[in-house]
Amino acid sequence: MRKKMYTIPKICRTGDDGSIIAYLGSDGVVPNLGLVETIIRTLRMAWLPFGLHYSRASKERVRDAAIWAIAELKGQIALIEDKFGIAPQMQMAYSVPTGVTASVPTTTEDKEEEVVSEEIDENLDMDLGDEFDLTQSLLTQLS
């Protein structure tokens, strides 16, 4: 069975967003990962559990992805805190702006979307241990 391929349009940005893209594309940010894979890995950290839930993956798979995502995000937080000398209590001074929400649809409307969702689900198989090990390795290298 052929899997449906999804395309991300070319991203062209200046300012802070351009700086992020330039940094992620530079050598040595994440060893042995290209720019596209680094961006996808970053998206997975923030959105994989929601995408799996949307595609109606099993509760166990969504839960495992959520645990992985939380571990990855906590590792990224620790990396940022360590690299830039930010104590956790300093973060309290910066609150999340009020009225900022993220809407995540939880159902698909028609049968065609459901088939696409199953194809997405197959494309997202991963070994959570390897991703976690990569984060730990990066934290060790930067400290």
pLDDT tens for 84-127 read 999 876 666 665 555 555 555 444 443 343 333 333 444 444 44
Residue 55 counted as domain residue: yes
Domain count for the chain, please give it. Answer: 1
Residue 116 counted as domain residue: yes
Does pLDDT of 62 surpass 50?
yes
Question: Mean pLDDT throughout 71-90?
Answer: 90
Query: How many other CB atoms sit within 10 Å of the CB of residue 1?
Result: 4
Residue 12 counted as domain residue: no
Give the phi and the psi of residue 140 in degrees, each rounded to 5: -65, -40
Q: pTM for the whole thing?
A: 0.60
Average pLDDT of the chain? 75
Residue 120 counted as domain residue: yes
Spatial distance between the Cα atoms of 22 and 136, rounded to a whole number of angstroms: 23
Which tokens in the block code for residue 10? Answer: 């070319």
Residue 16 counted as domain residue: no
- The answer to whether 83 touches 134, Cβ cutoff 8 Å, is no
Q: Which helix (H) or strand (E) holds 16?
A: helix 15-25
Residue 17 counted as domain residue: no
Residue 119 counted as domain residue: yes
Domain membership of residue 65 as a residue range: 40-86+108-142
Residue 75 counted as domain residue: yes
